[in-house]
C-alpha cells in the first residue's frame, strides 16, 4: 500500500464515527493533535485530510442529479487521472459518491481509493475492485509473538508485580512483531501513545509490506493471575483485514455473552438470563442444572450471579482473563457452556476473532460505568443500546488469532522449564478456514540467549 494511503488510513481509524461524518465541524485543533498522535503523523496531515474531505463534500453536492459520465469528469477534475480507475472501480466510486450521507470519502490521486462509512473502511487499489487482504495464514507467524510474550512474562509469575510482568511481555511481543511480513496498525493495544511507549493504539507494526491488517494485542490476558501465580494467564494477539476491527474508542467496558457452536444464534443478550439458559440447555440436549456459566468475579455481577443461581445453573467464577473465558465456551474439554458478564471491550474484539474460527457466537453491548462514560459515549458517537455481534466486532472472516499459555489453566498449559529448555503450548486459529491448531513448542534457552531478543 502506498505510504500516503497508509497514513490516511491511520488518521481515519483514529477518528470516532461522529468525527468521520463531519470532521471539519466536529474536530477542533486539540482533538486534531490527539488524532495525529494516535495515527503517528504530524498534525498538519490531519488538517490536510480534513481539507480534502471538505473539497470532496463540495464536489459530491455538485454531483447530485448528474449522470455517470458527468460524475467521472468531475472526479478527474478533482485530480485523478483516468488511468487510476478500472471501469468497475469507477462505478463503485460513483455509487459511493452518490450516497446521501457519505463520510470521509476521498481519492488519493493515482494511488488508491479510500472511503469510510461510520463503521467500516474500504480501500480499492488502482485497476482492481478487490480489497487488500491477507492471503497466507498469518496466525502461524503471529504465534511467535505470543510465545515470546509468554516466555518473557513467565519469569514474573508469582512475583506480585503486574506492571513489571506486563512490560516484559509487551517488550517481547513488540520485538518479534517487527519481523512479521505485514503492514499492521494496532487498533486495540496498550493505550494511547502518551500512555504506552510500545503497542499503543495507532502504532504501525510489522515490516510495512502487504497485507494491510488491523492488529489487536493483549500481551497478558490475566496480569493479576500472573502476578499472583494463579492459573489461566495467556498472551494473545489477533489480526484481520485493515478496517475490519471494531474500534471501541474510550469505551473500555462491554457487557458480553459468549457461547460455543451449539449455542450460536440461540442466545440473546437482551433476554433474561433464565430464558437464555433454557434455550441453550435445549440446544445442547442438557438440563439447565447441567450447564456451567463462567463469570468474572466482580461486585458488579452480584445480580447476574443470583439470576444464574435462581435458574439452577452452575457457576465457574474467574478472577481475570475473559478472552480465555470466551474461548473456553468453544473448547469441549473446558466444561464451560456460556460466558456472562461485563468485561473489557478490547478483549471482546480479540475473542470475536477466535470465536469466528471456532464457530462460536458472541454478543456485546457497550457499558458505561458512570455519567462520565455516558457522556464520552455520546461524544464519540456510540449507542449504548446497540447490540454488537461477531460481524460488528470483526466485519470479515479473514481474521487470525494466536494465544500462548503463561500459567497453566483449563485452556492451555503454561510455560514449563526443564534443563536447558522450556516448553510452550499455543492455540492458532484462522477464520476463513475454521482451522484450530494446538502447538507445543520446545525452546532452547542457550540459543535464545544468543539472539537479539528480550531477556528470556
Lowest mean pLDDT among 46-55, 260-269, 330-339, 414-423: 46-55
Backbone angles phi, psi at 96, to 5 degrees: -65, -45
Lowest mean pLDDT among 7-21, 119-133, 158-172, 300-314: 119-133
Q: Please report, to the nearest 10 degrees, the dihedral formed by the alpha carbons of residues 146, 256, 413, 174 taken in order.
A: 10
How far is Cα 270 from Cα 295, in angstroms, rounded to an integer? 17
pLDDT at 98 over 50: no
Region 75-81 average pLDDT: 47
Are 366 and 270 in a shared domain?
Answer: yes
Nearest C-alpha neighbor of 430 from the set 359, 347, 334: 359
Percent helix / strand / coil, the chain, rounded to 5: 40, 25, 35
H-helix or E-strand containing 253? strand 253-259
Are 220 and 268 in a shared domain?
Answer: no
Helices (H), 229-289: 273-284
pTM: 0.69
Lowest mean pLDDT among 165-169, 190-194, 308-312, 358-362: 190-194
CATH number of the domain enclosing 32? 1.10.260
Are 8 and 52 in a shared domain?
Answer: yes
Domain encompassing residue 207: 139-245+399-449
What integer pLDDT is reported at residue 84 of this predicted model?
Answer: 34
pLDDT at 258 over 50: yes
Q: How many domains does the chain have?
A: 3
118 or 136, which is more confident? 136
Residue 454 lies in a domain: no
Peptide bond into 211 cis (omega under 30): yes
How far is Cα 36 from Cα 43, in angstroms, rounded to an integer? 5
**DSSP string covering 381-424:** T--TT--B-HHHHB--S-EEEEEEESS--SS----EEETTEEEE
Region 86-90 average pLDDT: 33
Strands 292-296 and 361-366 turn out to be unpaired
Are 45 and 157 in a shared domain?
Answer: no
pLDDT at 17 over 70: no
Strands 338-344 and 416-418 turn out to be unpaired
pLDDT at 78 over 70: no
Residue 129: pLDDT band by 50, 70, 90 thresholds? very low
395 or 29, which is more confident? 395
Are 239 and 364 in a shared domain?
Answer: no
Residue 448: pLDDT band by 50, 70, 90 thresholds? confident
Instruction: Report the DSSP beta bridge partners of residue 252.
Output: none
Amino acid at each position: 500500500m502506498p505510504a500516503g494511503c497508509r497514513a490516511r488510513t491511520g488518521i481515519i481509524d483514529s477518528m470516532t464515527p461522529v468525527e468521520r461524518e463531519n470532521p471539519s465541524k466536529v474536530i477542533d485543533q486539540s482533538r486534531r493533535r490527539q488524532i495525529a498522535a494516535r495515527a503517528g503523523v504530524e498534525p498538519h496531515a490531519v488538517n490536510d485530510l480534513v481539507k480534502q474531505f471538505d473539497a470532496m463534500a463540495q464536489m459530491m453536492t455538485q454531483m447530485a442529479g448528474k449522470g455517470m459520465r458527468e460524475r467521472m469528469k468531475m472526479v478527474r477534475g478533482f485530480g485523478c487521472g483516468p488511468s487510476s480507475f478500472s471501469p468497475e472501480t469507477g462505478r463503485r466510486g460513483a455509487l459511493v459518491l452518490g450516497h446521501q450521507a457519505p463520510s470521509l470519502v476521498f481519492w488519493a490521486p493515482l494511488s488508491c481509493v479510500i472511503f469510510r462509512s461510520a463503521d467500516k473502511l474500504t480501500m480499492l487499489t488502482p485497476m482492481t475492485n478487490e480489497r487488500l487482504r491477507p492471503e497466507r495464514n498469518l496466525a502461524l507467524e503471529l504465534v511467535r509473538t505470543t510465545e515470546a510474550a509468554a516466555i518473557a512474562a513467565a519469569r514474573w509469575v508469582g512475583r506480585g508485580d503486574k506492571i513489571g510482568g506486563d512490560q516484559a511481555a509487551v517488550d517481547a511481543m513488540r520485538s518479534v512483531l517487527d519481523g512479521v511480513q505485514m503492514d499492521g496498525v494496532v487498533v486495540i493495544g496498550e493505550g494511547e501513545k502518551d500512555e504506552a511507549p510500545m503497542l499503543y493504539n495507532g502504532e504501525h507494526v510489522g515490516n510495512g509490506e502487504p497485507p494491510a491488517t488491523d492488529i489487536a494485542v493483549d500481551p497478558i490476558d490475566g496480569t493479576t493471575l500472573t502476578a499472583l501465580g494463579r492459573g489461566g494467564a495467556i498472551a494473545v494477539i489477533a489480526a484481520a483485514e485493515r478496517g475490519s476491527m471494531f474500534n471501541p474508542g474510550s469505551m473500555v467496558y462491554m457487557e458480553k455473552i459468549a457461547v460455543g457452536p451449539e449455542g450460536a444464534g440461540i442466545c440473546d443478550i437482551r433476554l433474561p438470563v433464565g430464558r437464555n439458559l433454557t434455550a441453550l440447555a435445549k440446544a445442547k440436549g442438557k438440563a439447565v442444572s447441567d450447564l456451567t456459566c463462567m463469570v468474572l468475579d466482580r461486585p458488579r455481577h452480584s445480580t447476574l450471579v443470583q439470576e444464574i443461581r435462581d435458574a439452577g445453573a452452575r457457576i465457574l467464577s474467574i478472577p481475570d482473563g475473559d478472552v480465555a473465558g470466551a474461548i473456553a465456551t468453544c473448547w469441549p474439554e473446558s466444561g464451560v457452556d456460556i460466558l456472562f458478564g461485563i468485561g473489557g471491550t478490547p478483549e471482546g474484539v480479540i475473542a470475536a476473532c477466535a470465536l469466528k474460527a471456532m464457530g462460536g457466537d458472541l454478543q456485546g453491548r457497550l457499558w458505561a460505568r458512570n455519567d462520565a462514560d455516558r457522556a464520552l459515549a455520546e461524544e464519540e458517537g456510540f449507542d449504548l443500546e446497540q447490540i454488537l455481534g461477531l460481524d460488528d466486532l470483526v466485519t470479515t472472516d479473514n481474521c487470525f488469532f494466536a494465544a500462548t499459555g503463561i500459567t497453566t489453566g483449563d485452556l492451555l498449559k503454561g510455560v514449563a522449564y526443564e534443563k536447558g529448555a522450556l516448553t510452550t503450548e499455543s492455540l492458532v486459529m484462522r477464520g476463513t478456514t475454521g482451522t484450530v491448531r494446538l502447538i507445543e513448542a520446545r525452546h532452547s534457552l542457550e540459543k535464545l540467549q544468543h539472539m537479539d531478543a528480550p531477556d528470556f
